């Protein structure tokens, strides 16, 4: 069992409990199949979700998320990844000023061969700077 599957199972159990459901395979099977319009899940299949031996496909995640009133990305990956992404975005927003934004816009509008050259120049400067700092 991978940690990712176990963490998914924990989030699924917590989401079920938050909505007032006991995290039992029979309950999950019944409630899921009432809402899912594909091939019904078996008791054994949903049990694997609850014990952390498998993770449902995206369409099944969407059904679970709607039923349990939880964002699908939160059910799949947890809140931590969302916070890490938001922190990274805030860092970019804080560190990049108007001049840098102009440069990035100009870079985006360059043809692919010129973008490659600019990337190589930036990487060369970064390596030289890193080497010089040591």
> Is the residue at 128 inside a domain?
yes
Residues 77 and 109 in one domain: no
Whole-number pLDDT of residue 28: 97
Percent of the chain scoring above 90 in pLDDT? 63
CB 23 within 8 A of CB 29: no
Here the tokens at position 42 are 């078996």
Q: What is the CATH number of the domain that holds 20?
A: 1.10.260.40
CB 59 within 8 A of CB 9: no
Give the range of the structural domain holding residue 105, as residue numbers without chain letter: 98-133
Residues 60 and 118 in one domain: no
Q: How confident is the model at residue 36 (pLDDT cuts 50, 70, 90)?
A: very high
> Is the residue at 105 inside a domain?
yes
Count CB neighbours of 134 within 10 A: 4
Residues 14 and 75 in one domain: yes
């Amino acid at each position: 069992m991978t940690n990712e599957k176990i963490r998914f199972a924990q989030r699924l159990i917590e989401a079920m409990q938050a909505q007032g459901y006991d995290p039992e395979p029979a309950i999950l099977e019944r409630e899921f199949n009432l809402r899912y319009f594909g091939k019904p899940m078996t008791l054994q299949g949903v049990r694997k979700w609850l014990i952390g031996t498998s993770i449902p496909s995206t369409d099944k995640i969407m059904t679970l998320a709607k039923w349990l009133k939880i964002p699908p990305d939160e059910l799949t990956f947890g809140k931590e990844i969302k916070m890490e992404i938001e922190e990274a975005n805030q860092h970019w927003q804080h560190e990049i000023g108007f001049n840098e934004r102009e440069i990035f816009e100009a870079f985006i509008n360059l043809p692919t061969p010129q973008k490659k050259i600019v990337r190589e120049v930036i990487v060369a400067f970064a390596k030289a700077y890193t080497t010089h700092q040591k």
